[in-house]
Amino acid sequence: MKSDTLIEIDHVTFGYDAGRTILRDVSMTFRRGQVTAILGGSGCGKTTLLRLIGGVYPPNQGRIVFDGELVDVRDKELLYRVRRRLGMLFQFGALFTDLTVFENVAFPLREHTELPESMIRDIVLLKLNAVGLRGAAGLRISQVSGGMARRIALARAIALDPELIMYDEPFAGLDPISMGVTANLIRKLNDTTGSTSLVVSHDVQECFQIVDYAYLMAAGGRVVAEGTPAELSRSEDPEVRQFIRGEPDGPVKFHYPAPPLAQDLGIPA
């Protein structure tokens, strides 16, 4: 029987170089079929964690287990197998601006499969249909709005039917309506395709609408809290409350230490 867990991050510590630790003793469990958020402010190591899951870098300590297999960056065959099962939506979509919508979604299919053109066409149209943009297949990327571009990137991320879809800041730069549309799509695609999703974001409220579970990371690459959105919302922990409610001052200060403003501006106090 398949275990409930698709990915396990087990006491992982990592730094790009020896002088600076980016992730500190991080442990997380991503359950099959669920949408899990990794929340945290800029620079706390969220994107780095996705790179480790994809086997781009090895942890310095601890291990990452994907569907029962230890992710070992030296094992090229295993990495290829693991990556085939991953779909990634990069920060800001990263679409090819000189290609059409259709060609962008077809790209991974052409790169990774030998499927005949007629089948590629059907798959691309189905994926575009799933994000509501079948009618936009012939447009160029320069002709579409930011919200549409994000949906096209979503269609491309699911082109190869990944079992795990990793979203890096899927809401960045979107207006509130496009954000809601994107969030609901992430949930819908997860459930209709039976995949598992990881959403890396600093947008707590948007994520809480759609995720099953969330990890909260803080500066220094530590996990400070985990739980369902309801559990985290009830937390009495000051660090958690500050992050979830977006309060400017709490344990994490909004202002970098500075002398009083009046003093800096030369105004008598």
Ligand X SMILES: Nc1ncnc2c1ncn2[C@@H]1O[C@H](COP(=O)(O)OP(=O)(O)OP(=O)(O)O)[C@@H](O)[C@H]1O
What is the Cα–Cα distance from 175 to 146, expressed in whole angstroms? 9
- Tell the smallest beta-carbon distance from residue 179 to ligand X (Å): 16
Restricting to residues 196-255, name those near ligand X by CB under 6 A: none
Nearest residue (CB) to ligand X, 57 versus 107? 57
Restricting to residues 14-53, name those near ligand X by CB under 6 A: 16, 22, 40, 42-48
- Determine the Cα angle at 23 with ends 21 and 24, to 5°: 85
What is the Cα–Cα distance from 80 to 103, expressed in whole angstroms? 24
Nearest residue (CB) to ligand X, 1 versus 18? 18
Restricting to residues 48-107, name those near ligand X by CB under 6 A: 48
Q: Which DSSP string do the residues of 197-221 spell out, in sequence order? A: EEEEES-HHHHHHH-SEEEEEETTT
- Tell the smallest beta-carbon distance from residue 243 to ligand X (Å): 13
- Tell the smallest beta-carbon distance from residue 141 to ligand X (Å): 23
Nearest residue (CB) to ligand X, 45 versus 54? 45
**Cβ count near 6 (within 10 Å):** 23
Amino acid making up residue 80:
Y
Residues listed for the chain: 269
- Tell the smallest beta-carbon distance from residue 18 to ligand X (Å): 12
Nearest residue (CB) to ligand X, 32 versus 51? 51
- Do residues 157 and 165 make contact, with C-beta atoms less than 8 angstroms apart? yes
- Do residues 153 and 95 make contact, with C-beta atoms less than 8 angstroms apart? yes
Nearest residue (CB) to ligand X, 3 versus 91? 91
What is the Cα–Cα distance from 197 to 167, expressed in whole angstroms? 8
How many residues contact ligand X, by CB under 6 A? Answer: 10
What is the Cα–Cα distance from 269 to 261, expressed in whole angstroms? 9
3-state secondary structure of 237: coil
**Cβ count near 140 (within 10 Å):** 13
- Tell the smallest beta-carbon distance from residue 232 to ligand X (Å): 18
Nearest residue (CB) to ligand X, 46 versus 127? 46
- Tell the smallest beta-carbon distance from residue 202 to ligand X (Å): 6
**Pick from 20, 21, 122: nearest CA to 62:** 21
- Tell the smallest beta-carbon distance from residue 218 to ligand X (Å): 10
What is the Cα–Cα distance from 2 to 199, expressed in whole angstroms? 23
Nearest residue (CB) to ligand X, 48 versus 196? 48
Sites of contact with ligand X (CB under 6 A): 16, 22, 40, 42-48
